[in-house]
Amino acid sequence: MCGIVGYVGKKQAAPILLDGLSRLEYRGYDSAGMAVYDGEKIVINKTTGRLKVLSELTHDGATMSGHIGIGHTRWATHGEPSDVNAHPHFNKDQSIAVVQNGIIENYLKLRNLLQDRGYQFLSETDTEVVVHLLDYYYNRYDKNPLTAVTKVIHRVEGSYALGILFADHPDVMYAVRKDAPLIVGIGEEGNLIASDVPAVLKYTRDVFFIENEEIAVLTEKSIEFFNMDADPIRKESKHIDWDINAAEKGGYEHFMLKEIYEQPKAVRDTISPRIRDHSIVIEELGMTDEEIRAVKKIHIAACGSAYHTGVTSKYVFEGLARIPVEVDLASEFRYRDPILEEGALVIVISQSGETADSLAALRLAKDRGITTLGIVNVVGSSIAREADKVMYTWAGPEIAVATTKAYSCQLVAQYLLALKFAQVRGQITDEQLGEYLHEMEILPNQIESLIDNKHKIQKFANRYVAAKDVFFIGRGIDYAISLEGSLKLKEISYIHSEAYAAGELKHGTISLIEDGTLVAAVVTQEELYKKTISNIVEVRSRGAYVLAVTNEDNIEIEKTADCVIYIPKTSSYFTNSLAIIPLQIFGYYVSVGKGLDVDKPRNLAKSVTVE
């Protein structure tokens, strides 16, 4: 996820771009840049680091004079954070400048095609493909910018929001989107484009929401829209009532709720670029089939929620790829002198890529000469750079301390990896792979339906605002889900909670169950239904009130649980991705009900970069 801003009007563009970008830093902040037409040519300034580095570089925009410009704050997906990978990007003769938010899924193919036509690339980004493709079509079709833009959007696949300047047409800015947000602001002293409303509210509350594959053409005094065949289209503007603070959260009360709602898109962004012609392509992984076949054992090391995804993927890897998996808390792994033998693969999972314990675990494995793989959300982070292999989650920046969308992306990234390993090692047939991939591809819609139907769990949460102890139980993958459900509740509501392997209750914990104690039972593994239901009966007979999260066809459970939340049918390996949604929502609304700071819980940091 990145932030785009553009301005054309009476005023100096650069200060307006910087102001707008500062409102979009929650969308990305590893590098930033601006392109401004100075009356003769397009000038670009861009740099790694937070937006303030760009502000300092340009003296708050004063060194970039001109009335039309585009700006960008980056969240790297393709290509590490660097000056050369920062946006905007130029074409060869610096007559076209582009900023982009999104993922061009066919960028490699297009890059090869362009290189065959003599185009040279300076960066590793997918965006640079767009600017050279624009150059190609612009020069091929009578230097007509609109034609060039329509030709490009017919060729690129994936999600994109583009801001474009043509030096030959210095009073006009072009913008187009598909599956990445972009709006047009109707200003009194000029018009604007932006990834999101907060960037324009200082200048206008009247905006156009651009639909997929619609092109906006802006000048100081006019705004026109065209479809992807360059036919003019009419649009209605909307008036925005949000204040800036609400707008930064997209109208949601907290970033955590916004990020819960972003999960379908984040999961789709992490899955879809990797499913190609019924097989799995993880471009950045860099593991050959031979290396995959040589893996004898997997060690997973991570912390917190990332560790919980590792507990889930132990079952997925062992079930699908038949590779033994050991999962450790990274803070334990780094000090227990683990036995790492030849053929081991150490996988370190980390949203931030900076967690001290996880980084130490990675370094320990590397010191032992063991191949390491980082599953990371932040491109260019320490773990991403130091691991031998890397697989990115594409959740975009996650602001709330309590992880939701990054957690969900870590899960599906590991499903993909396990399926890839299983296929390469001949543990599943192509047909079976196809079935699993089909089930994965519908997960985002299933997640969306659970979020859209959150009212039941939201109401249930309001009843437990005063709870003192809550237990989460499950068996197998359901135990892993319980771990995360428990952490979500305790870290943002400060209510004591514990997750237990359901079969473990009778070995001690059941003595804690009293009249009215809430027990959340996760029951998604069909072959374990009966066992977990017997645990539910045990705790209920001791006075517990049981919330069950189970598969939609398991209606039997209505006879034993007090409240049931159903999840749509999916592979038993993927149920974590669905069952966790009501538990995230439960934790969120209990915290809201207690009037706590959901996004910034006490004593916690988003990334624990110290021991």
With respect to ligand AGP, which residue has the nearer C-beta, 95 or 351? Answer: 351
Cβ at position 355, least distance to ligand AGP in Å: 3
- Interface residue with ligand AGP, options 102, 304, 444, 601 (CB under 6 A): 304
> Does residue 303 carry a catalytic annotation?
no
Residues in 441-500 at the binding interface with ligand AGP, rule: CB under 6 A = 491
Q: Are 572 and 526 in contact (CB under 8 A)?
A: yes
- Interface residue with ligand AGP, options 55, 77, 100, 351 (CB under 6 A): 351
Rounded to whole angstroms, how far apart are CA atoms 42 and 165? 8
Rounded to whole angstroms, how far apart are CA atoms 465 and 467? 6
Q: Which span (278-286, 299-307, 412-420, 595-603) binds ligand AGP, by CB under 6 A?
A: 299-307
User: Which single residue brings its beta carbon nearest to ligand AGP?
Assistant: 304
- List the x/- string, 306-345, binding to ligand AGP by CB under 6 A: x---------------------------------------
SS3 484: helix
- Interface residue with ligand AGP, options 355, 517, 524, 550 (CB under 6 A): 355
Q: Are 280 and 441 in contact (CB under 8 A)?
A: no
Q: Which span (200-208, 349-357, 538-546, 568-576) binds ligand AGP, by CB under 6 A?
A: 349-357
Rounded to whole angstroms, how far apart are CA atoms 147 and 142? 9
- Interface residue with ligand AGP, options 103, 104, 110, 402 (CB under 6 A): 402
With respect to ligand AGP, which residue has the nearer C-beta, 85 or 382? Answer: 382
403 binds ligand AGP (CB under 6 A): yes
Cβ at position 443, least distance to ligand AGP in Å: 20
Q: Which span (108-116, 127-135, 246-254, 350-358) binds ligand AGP, by CB under 6 A?
A: 350-358
Rounded to whole angstroms, how far apart are CA atoms 24 and 5? 9
What single string gives the DSSP state of each residue in 367-412? Answer: HTT-EEEEEESSTT-HHHHHSSEEEE-------SSS-SHHHHHHHH
Q: Which span (301-309, 471-479, 537-545, 582-590) binds ligand AGP, by CB under 6 A?
A: 301-309
C-alpha 308 chain-centroid distance: 18
Total binding residues for ligand AGP by CB under 6 A? 15
With respect to ligand AGP, which residue has the nearer C-beta, 325 or 348? Answer: 348
List of residues 6+ apart from 470 with CB closer than 8 A: 464, 486, 489, 495, 496, 497, 517, 518, 519, 520
List of residues 6+ apart from 431 with CB closer than 8 A: none
Cβ at position 176, least distance to ligand AGP in Å: 34
Residue indicated by tokens 């940091």: 605
The rounded radius of gyration (Å) of the Cα atoms in the chain is 25
Q: Are 325 and 313 in contact (CB under 8 A)?
A: yes
Torsions phi, psi of 372, nearest 5? -120, 145
Cβ at position 246, least distance to ligand AGP in Å: 24
Q: Are 171 and 9 in contact (CB under 8 A)?
A: no
List of residues 6+ apart from 94 with CB closer than 8 A: 41, 42, 44, 167
Rounded to whole angstroms, how far apart are CA atoms 223 and 9? 12
The catalytic position among 2, 151, 314, 488 is 2
What is the β-pairing status of strands 96-104 and 89-90?
A: antiparallel
> Does residue 409 carry a catalytic annotation?
no
Cβ at position 166, least distance to ligand AGP in Å: 41
Q: Which span (128-136, 153-161, 249-257, 304-312) binds ligand AGP, by CB under 6 A?
A: 304-312
With respect to ligand AGP, which residue has the nearer C-beta, 156 or 402? Answer: 402
- Interface residue with ligand AGP, options 186, 275, 329, 608 (CB under 6 A): 608
Cβ at position 490, least distance to ligand AGP in Å: 10
Cβ at position 384, least distance to ligand AGP in Å: 12
SS (H, E, C) 94-155: CCEEEEEEEEECCHHHHHHHHHHCCCCCCCCCCHHHHHHHHHHHHHHCCCCHHHHHHHHHHH
CB atoms within 10 A of CB 236: 6
Q: Are 106 and 156 in contact (CB under 8 A)?
A: yes
With respect to ligand AGP, which residue has the nearer C-beta, 108 or 608? Answer: 608
- List the x/- string, 358-377, binding to ligand AGP by CB under 6 A: x-------------------
Cβ at position 528, least distance to ligand AGP in Å: 26
- Interface residue with ligand AGP, options 95, 159, 195, 350 (CB under 6 A): 350
CB atoms within 10 A of CB 432: 14
Cβ at position 400, least distance to ligand AGP in Å: 8
- Going by C-alpha positions, the residue among 296, 538, 499, 497 that lies closest to residue 546 is 538
Q: Which span (13-21, 91-99, 197-205, 401-409) binds ligand AGP, by CB under 6 A?
A: 401-409
382 binds ligand AGP (CB under 6 A): no
With respect to ligand AGP, which residue has the nearer C-beta, 182 or 375? Answer: 375
Q: Which two three-digit tokens encode residue 454?
A: 């959150």
What is the β-pairing status of strands 275-276 and 279-280?
A: antiparallel
With respect to ligand AGP, which residue has the nearer C-beta, 104 or 379? Answer: 379
Cβ at position 350, least distance to ligand AGP in Å: 3
- Interface residue with ligand AGP, options 31, 91, 305, 524 (CB under 6 A): 305
Q: Which two three-digit tokens encode residue 362?
A: 């990675």
With respect to ligand AGP, which residue has the nearer C-beta, 114 or 579? Answer: 579
The catalytic position among 456, 531, 600, 606 is 606
303 binds ligand AGP (CB under 6 A): yes
With respect to ligand AGP, which residue has the nearer C-beta, 204 or 350? Answer: 350
With respect to ligand AGP, which residue has the nearer C-beta, 267 or 306? Answer: 306
Q: Are 485 and 402 in contact (CB under 8 A)?
A: no
Instruction: List helix spans (H) across 242-355.
Output: 244-248, 255-261, 263-271, 289-293, 304-316, 330-333
CB atoms within 10 A of CB 4: 34
With respect to ligand AGP, which residue has the nearer C-beta, 16 or 400? Answer: 400
Cβ at position 321, least distance to ligand AGP in Å: 23
Q: Which residues does the annotation mark as catalytic?
A: 2, 606
- Site residues (vs ligand AGP, CB under 6 A): 303-306, 350-352, 355, 358, 401-403, 491, 607-608
